[in-house]
Amino acid sequence: MAVNVLAPTGFVPSRHLLGAAPTYQTTIRYIQRLYGTNLGIGDVVSTTAGYVVAQTGNPVLGVFLGVLPYYDINMQQTWHGLNGAYQSTLLPPVGTDLQCYVCTDPFQVFRVQFSGGPWAASWMGLNVALNGNAAPNAAGISTAYINGQATTSTLPFRIVGQSGVTGGPQDPANTNPWLEVVINPGIAETLSGTGV
């Protein structure tokens, strides 16, 4: 069997943990005008002062799903970033923040690549660390992946299953398998009882 290379595409919504319709439970949030960090489709985000930012600590808001159309004063036309990704060069009118979609449902299951397999059934229910949440690729897709499974309560995601089938291109027995995860309920912003 060929080794599955580490080629992450961020967090991809796949199903709902409770069996509900997979609507991805998106909410409209805002990115502050001239925010200096690019966000790819599938990047993990949190909030600072009410604005969406790349996730650097807890709590986790959710997964970035794209910028809504806006008027760009440089291009003099309606625009929506690079395939929906946020680029720090986007320039809405002065005083205008950018609207974006974020999947904030703590029961949404995401498919994401794991570095450091192969899969073991004992991983079910463990938390995992976020890695590679740095810069999107040239198409605006996230390069985030996960690694370092542990019982540590502050790691941002919890493993709920494996993704892929034996012998297939995403074989769980591979070095870089694809797993299914949810936001760790202990640090999900939407479940925080004390507010942010």
Tokens at 123, concatenated = 């991983």
Do 118 and 177 belong to one domain? yes
CB atoms near residue 14 (< 10 Å)? 17
Model confidence pLDDT, tens digit, residues 164-193:
777 776 777 788 888 999 998 888 887 765
Q: Categorize the per-residue pLDDT at 133 as very low, low, confident or very high, splitting at 50, 70 and 90.
A: low
Residue that is written with structure tokens 């509900």 in the block = 20
Domain end point (choices 75, 103, 131): 103
Tell me if 7 is assigned to some domain: no
- Residue-level pLDDT at 66: 94
Q: Which two tokens stand for residue 103?
A: 């999947």
Same domain for 78 and 53? yes
Number of domains making up the chain: 2
Q: Is residue 18 part of a domain?
A: no
The reply to whether 66 falls in a domain is yes
- The residue from 40, 73, 103 where one domain ends is 103
Does one domain contain both 62 and 110? Answer: no
The domain containing residue 32 runs over which residues? 23-103
More confident residue, 137 or 196: 137
Does 195 have pLDDT greater than 70?
Answer: no
Least confident interval from 85-89, 91-95, 190-194: 190-194
Q: State if pTM tops 0.75.
A: yes
Spatial separation of the C-alpha atoms in residues 110 and 157, rounded to whole Å: 10
**Residues whose CB falls within 8 Å of the CB of residue 71, separated by 6 or more in sequence, listed in order:** 77, 78, 79, 92, 93, 96
